[in-house]
Structure 1
Amino acid sequence: MATQKQRRKRAKEKRHAYDLVEIDSEGNETVLSSNELKVDTPPRSQRKKGDARNGSKPRPGRGSPRPPTWGRVLKRGAIFAPIFLATVLLLAGNRLTFQGALVQTAFLLAIFIPFSYFMDRLVWRSHEKRLARAKSGGR
């Protein structure tokens, strides 16, 4: 099913009444027929992803997930640690000292890091199962 953006574009193209013309060397305009407009493009099934007639490039994807590593998870924890600290400081207000906020942040990281590794492992295993199913040819 076409997206709303695609439907609007098609509707806009159909709204305008115009002819495609070719101007020859003498300056005369000749209206092109539909047979002359056909471009030698491969069938849709043989085109690469994103190889549209308008020359658009394929969208960059995230690619396949990488296997989980503790190093990557610890880096993610280091990125989120200041965010957790700022959140704890903002939510606690004057009721919590800076040292108390650091303890709370350490507690949050102690929960976040193993959970993050677990989620990476879950995504990786489901990806591997999907690939194995695709190789075997069954669903």
Structure 2
Amino acid sequence: MGLLGCKPASTPMEVNVDLWRDNSPLLDDAGRYRRLIGKLIYLTVTRPDITFAVGVFSRFMHYIPREVHWTAALRILAYVKSCPGKGLLYKKHGHLHISAYSDAGYAGNIGDRKSTSEFYTFIGGNLVTWRSKK
């Protein structure tokens, strides 16, 4: 692919890119696009910051992808290059205990008086699910 020398990107996806009505040329090898998106889907396990962008580009896997889709998907790789230490690290802790924590605040924000709630689930000492909602 020759992407080692690519310029790092600050975001995984450009803003206001019209991926649906583009007249750019079709890709010669749609399988290459599908393989890249499949690898990026696998990467979202440890890099939740790219999940939205990968989800958007995965919508084009079953159609014939265009050059604009390929270029946009490569931007995710440039973003990952810009911050290699970002992401989740799973370690072996020698056990598979399940722990869950939750917290809630009733009208705790002085500005809008909205309640917040959150929960975290750990398996074997590793964070596997989380949610925070206002």
Q: Which has the higher strand share?
A: 2
Give the alignment's TM-score, normalised by structure 1.
Answer: 0.23
TM-score normalised by the chain length of structure 2 = 0.23
Which one has a bigger Cα radius of gyration?
1
